[in-house]
Amino acid sequence: MGSQGGWGQSKEFLDLVKSIGEARSKAEEDRIVMSEIENLKRRITEPDIPKRKMKEYIIRLVYVEMLGHDASFGYIHAVKMTHDDSLLLKRTGYLAVTLFLNENHDLIILIVNTIQKDLKSDNYLVVCAALTAVCKLINEETIPAVLPQVVELLGHPKEAVKRKAIMALHRFYQRAPSSVAHLISNFRKRLCDNDPGVMGATLCPLFDLIAADANSYKDLVVSFVSILKQVTERRLPKSYDYHQMPAPFIQIRLLKILALLGNGDKQASEHMYIVLGDMFRKCDLSSNIRNAVLYESICCVSSINCSTKLLESAAEVTSQFLKSDSHNLKYMGIDALGRLIKINPEIAEEHQLAVIDCLEDPDDTLKRKTFELLYKMTKSSNVEVIVDRMIDYMISINDNHYKTEISSRCIELAEQFAPSNQWFIQTMNKVFEHAGDLVNVKVAHNLMRLIPEGFGEDNEGADNQLRSSAVESYLRIIGEPKLPSLFLQVICWVLGEYGTADRKFSASYITGKLCDVAEAHPSDDIVKAYAVTAIMKIYAFEIAAGRKVELLPECQSLVDELSASHSTDLQQRAYELQAVLGLDARAVESIMPSDASCEDIEVDKSLSFLDGYVQEALVKGARPYIPESERSGMSNISNFRGQVHHDSSTHGLRFEAYELPKPSGASRIQPAPLAASKELVPVSEPTYPQEILQPASVSSVSETGPTEFKLRLDGIQKKWGRPTYSPTAPSTSNSNPQKTVNGAPQLVVQGAVSSQAHDVSYDSRKTKVEVSPEKQKLAASLFGGWSSKTEKRPTSTNHKTTRVHSAAVEKSQMPTAAVASTEQAAEKESPQQPPLNLLDLGDPTPGDSTASIDPFKQLEGLLGPSDVSSVGNSAVTASKSADIMSLYAESPISGLGGTVANMAPTNSINLTSGVSNAANRNVPVGSASTQVAPVKKGPNPQDSLEKHAVARQVGVTPSVTNPNLFRDLLG
């Protein structure tokens, strides 16, 4: 209906859009937009603009902003429009503000009140509009203002409202986890909602919650498995089917959650075996959405404690992905392979050629993914090939972001697996040379630490060899132009430290080189500083060794230049150098010991060497030192400051009427002042006791518990108060477990994998025929490291017992799982079984009252309960068109016939095959939509003609430059 009868905007606006469309260059477009902005600026401030006109201005502002120009002068008008009573204007206002404002914009405070009002509206469309705005606009600070109302809306009769309310709460959780911490039971309850849309939405917040703390949700494993099972058995309304797949998006979310819950938990994983096995059973790569679900299943298998059989199925699907012609599937296959080899490195072996093909593919995306895979499977036997490949690729690309990433990966691998010092130094040189300053500074510092420390073996000889090979290679490179600054720093440092260590090169040679470096980079102060310090070290070592030192003339001029430098740092270094030259050998040796960069410098923090001096002074009558904490005045001040801060933390922005004076609770106060005092009060440590005392005394007074509203303010940033955001303190209960839970198992897995990679090796199979020898060689060098020893697989009997065991467990907990596990015969029976409640949560919720009836079936209406299980494929396609008709049957608007008819273009590129399949049949529709006559399907020339006519009216004609504007996107 959108395009029927013209576009509904004024001529002026259409002209604007048209002129932008016809602009030949970005400059021309910018010019048009600028003049439009001037125009709008003038017109929007005129008094008494009719509302309709204003609405159009707002949409024009959106347009201007969309094209990348600043329309902030009009934001306030969009905000005003949200206040309007008419839904038409309100909707436009909300649309504009959600597009204009980021969550921390100052104007948001002006909308909060409107949102509060609209959330209470009788009209559910108003509520929906407000909730959409809530998701975008409400920030940590304003969450408390709308939270109670959003929670209330979870019980709204309209599904759409419930769904949006859940998503809003999910957003709140992302912004400030503590704000919704007390609402977790609501999410659990909504999981049992009768509407699949609401249930599906609930999976979003649950996913985040489970990612933060999987252990508290282990009881839901059975429920999730049961929901997934029912979804795959097509128990959801057909309208959730997507390209003949039952509710795939919900399936994917469920699989993601199961992956989290089964991670490192054998018992939870066992519940999932059957349903996951079923996912792999129908494995054809025909439709993209099926592949998406299959891929997610592989991810789930690789994350949980999986059985051999599941791993085999997953590997099978992965190999089909890799064999596919589609780049997308190859990409997913490589990714899946990377996950599976963590469990069993053997899997990669049969795909070596596929992997190499991907590595040489012209598609950069695929190439990078493959490098990621190689990175995961690197070990000492193949590190040289892999790192060389990576460096070659790194040299060939311009994308700085990725260059940084791949260079740090190279360096990491080189440090971990380097077969020889020589190779290590060379690799580092290459990386530094080509990645230049993109290399992380830490990496350079690491290298500077690694060279003196050596590789950890107690072999001084090898370390010395490393150093001298580094020095040699650096001396070779140092003359090259355009070396990155970071690399030069490393070079200077190493030359200074070890340049003369093995007496191969003379001091004057090295210092000469260093002077050249400093001269060649007159604008780089850091390099100059490194160079002059290196020179100082060389001379110091010479002096300490008792040799006579003469400053080279170029050195002298460098020192002279630097002592007059603008940089005080350089000046100081130059003066230090001169001072060192004037000292005798003994003194120099103690201030500049050779090869001592790794020695610990002991710092006497208590300044005990001054004790004698202090004693002397005391004896002479000096006053003893009083520590800051013991000085009474000071502690009062800090106490006072703590008080002030504490006040500001409780009095932020308020959105509710003043409440009755009541002593406030203690629990919320404690953490905030602690964290904040570190910033505010210089003497933090000693004042702690007093600060804690403060809230403690309050708590002893309070008799009533903390009010709920106040609790939620924890950790919320005070925009207009002091900037005392302290996220860690109040939310520790949420965020800390997340880190430990997430981090720990991963570490365990990685550790296990790397040890496997080293210890267990496998036979390299013979490469297949018809493969170029070059590729074979590469394959052999990449994968050939595995030899003879094959990991013993768990025996099949073992596997069977686990299966039986898992079935037994499920049986005891839930009747349907048992049905499924007794293979196909039982599957046929299942429709006759009493329909199962989706939500077997064992938690007294409203959903449980309908335990004996499948909630989705009640909803369905269109198809009787027997249809659901028996109709099969025909029903799937049939329901599709049934959907269309029933949809429009409910909103009969003129001109709709054309829309529906034209919906399915005849030439069905596989994108729309689902739709067009449905369209090509005249399907008898279910009882709900019988009043709709079967609609003639196929392309409707009349409709496109109308559209073209409208377009021409506006002045847009298909021409050589824009022939595609009229083409159906789906056609």
Partner 1 sequence: MIHFVLLISRQGKVRLTKWYSPYSQKERSKVIRELSGVILSRGPKLSNFVEWRGYKVVYKRYASLYFCMCIDQDDNELEILEIIHHFVEILDRYFGSVCELDLIFNFHKAYYVLDEVLIAGELQESSKKTVARLIAAQDSLVETAKEQANSISNMIAQATK
Q: Please give the residues from 925 up to 944 whose contact with partner 1 meets the rule CB under 8 A.
A: 939, 943-944
The C-alpha torsion from 572 through 573 and 574 to 577, rounded to 10°, is 120
Q: State in angstroms the smallest separation of the CB of 163 from partner 1.
A: 6
Neighbours of 870 (CB within 10 A): 10
Give the one residue of 274, 332, 341, 779 binding partner 1; rule: CB under 8 A: 332
**DSSP class of 663:** P
What is the smallest separation between the CB atom of 782 and partner 1, expressed in angstroms?
Answer: 22
Residues 807-826 within binding reach of partner 1 (CB under 8 A): none
Contacting partner 1 within 870-889 (CB under 8 A): 883-884, 886-888
Q: Is the CB of 3 or the CB of 380 nearer to partner 1?
A: 3
Q: Which two tokens stand for residue 836?
A: 């199962």
Cβ–Cβ < 8 Å for 731, 178: yes
The Cα 292–Cα 867 span in angstroms is 27
Query: Which residue, among 152, 65, 60, 75, has the nearest Cα to 106 in the 3D structure?
Result: 75
Q: Which of 74, 144, 177, 197 binds partner 1 (CB under 8 A)?
A: 197
Q: In this chain, which stretch among 62-70, 454-462, 631-639, 690-698 interacts with partner 1, using CB under 8 A?
A: 62-70
Cα distances (angstroms) measured from residue 449 to each of 493, 596, 927: 11, 11, 78
| Closest separation in Å from C-beta 266 to partner 1 | 23
The interface region with partner 1, picked from 64-72, 751-759, 787-795, 868-876 by CB under 8 A, is 64-72
For partner 1, the closer CB: 103 or 589: 103
- Interaction pattern, residues 94-113, with partner 1; x per rule: CB under 8 A: -x--xx--xxx---------
Contact with partner 1 (CB under 8 A) among 183, 439, 915, 923: 915
Which residue in this structure is represented by tokens 């789906």?
970
With binding defined as CB under 8 A, does residue 339 bind partner 1?
no
**Spatial separation of the C-alpha atoms in residues 187 and 164, rounded to whole Å:** 13
363 binds partner 1 (CB under 8 A): yes
Residues 6 or more apart whose Cβ sits within 8 Å of residue 754: none
Burial class (CB in 10 A: 0-12, 13-18, 19+), 964: exposed
Q: Which range, of 294-302, 343-351, 528-536, 563-571, touches partner 1 by CB under 8 A? A: 294-302
Where does this chain touch partner 1 (CB under 8 A) — which range of 431-439, 442-450, 762-770, 949-957?
A: 949-957
Nearer to partner 1, 118 or 463 (CB): 118
Distances (CA, A) of 612 to 606, 608, 627, 911, 962: 13, 8, 19, 88, 90
Q: 260 CB contacts (<8 Å, ≥6 apart)?
A: 207, 210, 211, 214, 303
Among 237, 277, 499, 847, binds partner 1 (CB under 8 A): 237
Query: Is 201 near partner 1 (CB under 8 A)?
Result: yes
246 binds partner 1 (CB under 8 A): no
Tell which positions 118-137 bind partner 1, by CB under 8 A: 125, 128, 132, 135-136
User: Smallest distance, Å, CB 48 to partner 1?
Assistant: 12
Q: How many C-beta atoms surround the C-beta of residue 711 within 10 A?
A: 18
CB 184 → partner 1: shortest distance, Å? 18
User: Which one of residues 45, 328, 590, 746 is an interface residue with partner 1 (CB under 8 A)?
Assistant: 328
Asked if 49 interacts with partner 1 (CB under 8 A), we say no
* Minimum CB–partner distance for residue 956 and partner 1 (Å): 7
User: Closest separation between CB of residue 361 and partner 1, Å?
Assistant: 9
Measured distance CA(324)–CA(493) in Å, rounded: 52
Q: Taking contact as CB under 8 A, which single stretch among the options 326-334, 507-515, 632-640, 866-874 is the one that binds partner 1? A: 326-334
Which of 107, 109, 160, 551 touches partner 1 by CB under 8 A?
160
Closest by Cα among 295, 196, 179, 187 to 236: 196
- Tally Cβ neighbours within 10 Å of residue 126: 19
State the nearest-atom distance from the C-beta of 33 to partner 1, in Å.
11
* Tokens of residue 424, six digits: 């290590």
269 part of the interface to partner 1, by CB under 8 A? no
Encode 388-399: b = buried (16+ Cβ within 10 Å), e = exposed: ebbbebbeeeee
Pick between residue 726 and residue 879 the one whose CB is nearest to partner 1: 879
Q: Which of residues 368-387 bind partner 1 (CB under 8 A)?
A: 368-369
Q: Which is nearer to partner 1, 719 or 803 (CB)?
A: 719
- Please give the single-letter amino acid code of residue 52: R
Would you give the end-to-end CA distance of the chain in angstroms? 19
Least CB distance to partner 1 at residue 414 (A) = 22
Rule CB under 8 A: choose which of 3, 464, 643, 667 binds partner 1. Answer: 3
* Residue 200 binding partner 1, by CB under 8 A: yes
Residue 606 burial (10 A CB sphere; 0-12, 13-18, 19+)? exposed
The Cα 906–Cα 897 span in angstroms is 17
Judging by beta carbons within 10 Å of its beta carbon (0-12, 13-18, 19+), is residue 573 exposed, middle or buried?
buried
Site size toward partner 1 (CB under 8 A) is 115
Smaller CB separation from partner 1, 70 or 457: 70
Amino acid at 605: K
d(CA 854, CA 44): 55
Query: Considering only residues 57, 75, 224, 240, which one is a binding residue for partner 1 as defined by CB under 8 A?
Result: 240
- Decide whether 174 or 870 has the Cβ nearer to partner 1: 174
d(C-alpha 306, C-alpha 487), whole Å? 46
> Judged by CB under 8 A, which stretch of 40-48, 283-291, 741-749, 928-936 contacts partner 1?
283-291
Q: Is 366 a residue that touches partner 1 (CB under 8 A)?
A: yes
Among positions 383-442, residues that touch partner 1 (CB under 8 A) are 401-402, 405
Q: Which is nearer to partner 1, 14 or 283 (CB)?
A: 14
Q: Give the number of other Cβ atoms within 10 Å of residue 612's Cβ.
A: 9
Q: What is the chain's Cα-based Rg? A: 36
Stretch 14-33 residues interacting with partner 1 (CB under 8 A): 14, 17, 20-21
CB of 967 to partner 1, least distance (A): 4
Q: Out of 288, 469, 508, 565, point to the residue binding partner 1 (CB under 8 A).
A: 288
Decide if 94 contacts 130 (C-beta within 8 A): yes
DSSP-assigned beta bridge partners for residue 304: 263
Q: Is 276 in the site for partner 1 (CB under 8 A)?
A: no
**Among residues 31, 34, 66, 215, the one that binds partner 1 under rule CB under 8 A:** 66
Q: Is 257 in the site for partner 1 (CB under 8 A)?
A: no
Out of 903, 923, 925, 935, point to the residue binding partner 1 (CB under 8 A).
Answer: 903
CA distance 533 to 516: 14
Q: Shortest Cβ distance from residue 65 to partner 1 (Å)?
A: 8
Q: How far is CA 814 from CA 224, 739, 809, 811, 851, in A?
A: 12, 33, 9, 5, 13
